[in-house]
Amino acid sequence: MKCSVKLRKMKQKSSASRLGFDEAKLFKAIEFSKKNESKMDRDIEKALREGHFHEPWPISKTIGPVKKRKGNSGAIIRANKIVQVWGDVEYVDMAFSMSKSFLSLCAGIAFKENVIRNFHAPILDTIQTGIFETSQNRKITWSQMLQLTSEWEGELWGKPDWIDHNRNLNDPQKNRLEKGKKRNLNLPGTFWEYNDVRVNVLSYALMLAFECSLPDVLREHIMVPIGASNTWKWHGYENSWDEVNGKRLQSVSGGAHWGGGLWISTLDLARIGQLMINQGLWDGKVVIPPKWVKMSTKPCELALNYGYLWWLNDKKTGMFPGAPTSAFAAMGVGTQILYIDPKNDLVIVNRWIEEDKVAKFVRLILDSIVF
């Protein structure tokens, strides 16, 4: 398959065998992916309307834009070269919770530019906003928000934090029965829980810290320097606007739980993967500080398979058995993955594959590597 788009600072598609792959095994892995396309309705609005996230009305109401998805697509990059692509890799698809890892990238820019001086200090040391000025929230740190251990309490953009209480990512049946059952909160930093409302709180806090929109931060500091396309978009909600220093800004969402989120092509995701493989460097220039990449991929003590909004491949709890423990990933509903494997100098993007087939797909790719 010939790649029609040249990635700046990433070489054109090269022979898979020259890059260390058994081509027959690689073909088998890609065919496996195609045959196991996600069963999530291609009409995303319909999927959300019919209760994909198991939430009651009106909390489940979609308040951000949505679009129909494409079929399974992917890209494999090794040694800064395109090994293989399949599907419509230029289509701008909804990324869902892969957006969270882009919030981590924006936090990395705040680290680089000294917008946030201390990530272990309370957020109120950096910004002033009422959503942190309660007894439960006032001591919450940036690090806790990034690791999903904040236990932030409240409501943002009409969505309460408790809608994701007892959310279980490992047991779909238990998730349907218990998600959204309000529980007693713990002290910040003492309990890990996947929670989209709190991620949106982090996004809003970062916007206030930068005093500009996060899409502008991402574009100027990351996407333009790495030669990404101009087709990607990052959406918020119809009600997530605020005035910051006289400017009307939209706070973007860290997923598409209620619509919105990052919309991006497979090829642009591959660029981000290569940036992380490069430890934040691009063409010899620091885009994201290498120290931030290291901080982002350090395991949370309460969830060893999670860092700063990146999934880690912990030996016991990681979702890529047999893969290096140094591997990490951005992941979104659908299922969509951006798998980053520094040990094998490998980036894999896969969009819209059944969740229970992801680990096997990655294993098939790794098994196709011969040197």
d(CA 93, CA 146): 24
State which H helix or E strand residue 333 sits in. none
CA distances from 50 to 61, 323, 327 (A): 10, 36, 35
pLDDT average, residue stretch 187-209: 98
The tokens for 90 are: 């230029």
For the chain, the 3-state helix, strand and coil shares in percent, each to the nearest 5, are 30, 20, 50
Give the pLDDT score at 11: 56
pLDDT of residue 13: 59
Summarised one tens digit per residue, pLDDT across range 64-76 is 999 999 999 999 9
Per-residue pLDDT tens digits for 102-118? 999 999 999 999 999 99
If you average pLDDT over residues 26-43, what whole number do you get? Answer: 97
Average pLDDT, the chain: 95
Distance of CA 274 to the CA centre of its chain: 15
Residues 6+ apart with CB under 8 A from 321: 359, 363
Residue 217 has pLDDT above 90, yes or no: yes
Neighbours of 79 (CB within 10 A): 15
What percent of the chain is predicted at pLDDT more than 70? 96
In this prediction, residues 316-340 reach a mean pLDDT of 96
φ, ψ (nearest 5 deg) of residue 254: -90, 20
Asked if residue 335 lies in contact with residue 311, where contact means CB atoms within 8 angstroms, the answer is: no
pLDDT tens digits, one per residue of 17-28: 999 999 999 999
Closest CA to 344 of 318, 308, 311, 370: 370
pLDDT band at 32 (very low <50, low <70, confident <90, very high): very high
**Sign of CA pseudo-dihedral 115, 271, 64, 357:** negative
Lowest mean pLDDT among 112-126, 158-172, 209-223, 293-307: 158-172
* Total number of residues shown for the chain: 371
Q: How high is the pLDDT of residue 177?
A: 81
Which pLDDT score, from 0 to 100, does residue 54 have? 85
pLDDT digits (tens, 9 = 90+) for 151-195: 999 999 999 999 999 998 877 777 878 899 999 999 999 999 999
How confident is the model over 5-27, as a mean pLDDT?
77
Residue 174, pLDDT score = 77
User: Euclidean distance between the first and final Cα of the chain, in Å?
Assistant: 22
Q: What b/e readout covers 3-28, taking b as 16+ CB neighbours within 10 angstroms?
A: beeebebbeebbebeebbbbeebbee
In CATH terms, the superfamily for domain 1-237+246-371 is DD-peptidase/beta-lactamase superfamily (3.40.710.10)
Residue 172: predicted pLDDT: 76
Q: Is 11 helix (H, G, I), strand (E, B) or coil?
A: strand
Cβ pair 208, 125 in contact under 8 A: no
Contact 121, 106 (CB under 8 A): no
- pLDDT value of position 8: 45
Q: Indicate if the pLDDT at residue 331 is higher than 90.
A: yes
Tokens of 10: 């990433």
